[in-house]
Amino acid sequence: MATKYSYTIETEFPNGKADPSRLTQEIQESGITTALEYIAIDGGECEIWFKSDLSTKDQTTLDGIVAAHSGEPLDTVEVAYDRTTGKMRVHQTSRQPGTKTFFTGCSDDTTVLTDVGSGPSWHSYHKVGDATLNYVYFDFNAIDNGTWIHEGYITWKDCMFDVVSVDIVPRTITYEVSGIGEPTFTGSGLDDIDTTASATLDMTYPTTYRVSIDSDGTPDTFRWSKDGGSTWEEQDVAITGGLQLLEHGISIIFDATTGHTIGDRWDIRAVPENTTFNLYGGYLIIPAAYDGNIFVTSDITQCHGGLVKTTPTEDGIMAPSYWNADWNSSTGLFENVAPAPLGDGNYNIFAAEISLAKFINRLPLLGDGFVLLQTSDVEEWAHGWRARFMQETNIDAENGFTDHDWYVSMYIVLHREKIA
């Protein structure tokens, strides 16, 4: 009698997914001696059926297979039969099940999350007098449309050992560094104010404070605002010459108590220090325990707000990823964005561009030509990836290369779940 062994996909498989074909292969290539009956996915459960009960050793082996299972589909083998001979014809393809081949010379319009191929064209050109180095960016909507890049084609004209590269960079967020900025003075009189944090800057959002002299005397007085002077929080505050608290740990101090000019003002930018974001290495945003060193100003719940998906390697290994989030296709927003301080999340957030992958590395072009960038492999296009197309003009007067017009274009082959 067949025996079922059930595993919860979300919690017992390392990547939260299971592929029956790959799992079947892994079990059949293992040391398990009991014959496999079949594997079924039922809701969130993976049911593995054997001809009979497994021994304790075989069940331990099965647990290990599940714990190491990547969930990635195997290369598809398409089977057909010759109409004349009736013999089987076998064709192996790297195209993922459920996808179709898509030739495109354009990226997607990322302002429309369902768009396919209506974005900018993959071409660039240099005219005499333009900057020597030029970057163009291309994006695909992959969050609800599984996308894999396969091959590429490049054509060029009038090149003189000019260079092109294509690498993958993350979509980045905007941020402000926590702390109090230098006061910006506007006026004609005495500029003698300084600032200090007398406590943790615990405001909710970055705020620009305005301090303005509102009377002169012995001492002079000031007023302060946090909306550019539309309204004033306090007025006629006597200058003491010591630390004077505004709010949220922000204090100011004047060197002199008299001699200021009415209407002179200082703008002071203050950014919270009690955030949940830290900038690491100048490019990566990692979680902080309400003692962060930056404030993220981007809305990371937006589809293209800065969350970058991490995809596993062929061996099922995930790079350290410090954020989790749930994508809601109905609202077009991320929900439940939460830190993963141990690096076991599914997303990363980047503050600066770094090269995540390089598809074309400094390809020199001469004259007019065409090249096929051929491969039998595919690479999953992760959400948040951007293709950065670099164009560099070769100007080398000593060897006779002066500034010149030249042109380059590219189109690529994708495998996509939706192609229209």
Segment 228-238 mean pLDDT: 97
Q: Where are the beta strands (DSSP E) in 291-405?
A: 294-296, 307-309, 323-328, 333-339, 347-350, 357-373, 379-380, 385-392
Position 76 scores a pLDDT of: 60
Q: Where are the beta strands (DSSP E) in 141-182?
A: 147-170, 175-177, 179-180
Segment 248-274 mean pLDDT: 96
- H or E stretch including 60? helix 56-68
Closest by Cα among 55, 80, 122, 58 to 390: 122
Segment 234-246 mean pLDDT: 97
Give 318 or 333, the one with higher predicted confidence. Answer: 333
pLDDT digits (tens, 9 = 90+) for 80-126: 556 566 665 555 678 888 899 999 999 999 999 999 999 999 999 99
pLDDT digits (tens, 9 = 90+) for 178-211: 999 999 999 999 999 999 987 789 888 999 999 9
Torsion 57-59-60-61 (CA) sign: positive
pTM score of the predicted model: 0.75
Q: Which two tokens stand for residue 240?
A: 């003491």
Position 21 scores a pLDDT of: 85
Q: Which two tokens stand for residue 393?
A: 């003009």
Give, in order, the Cα–Cα distances in Å from 347 to each of 89, 176, 270.
42, 21, 29
- Give me the residue label for tokens 């979680």: 287
Q: Cβ(90)–Cβ(78) under 8 Å?
A: yes
Q: Cβ(22)–Cβ(312) under 8 Å?
A: no
The domains found in the chain, sorted by start residue, are 3-68 (3.30.70), 100-172+354-416 (2.60.120), 179-271 (no CATH), 277-350 (no CATH)
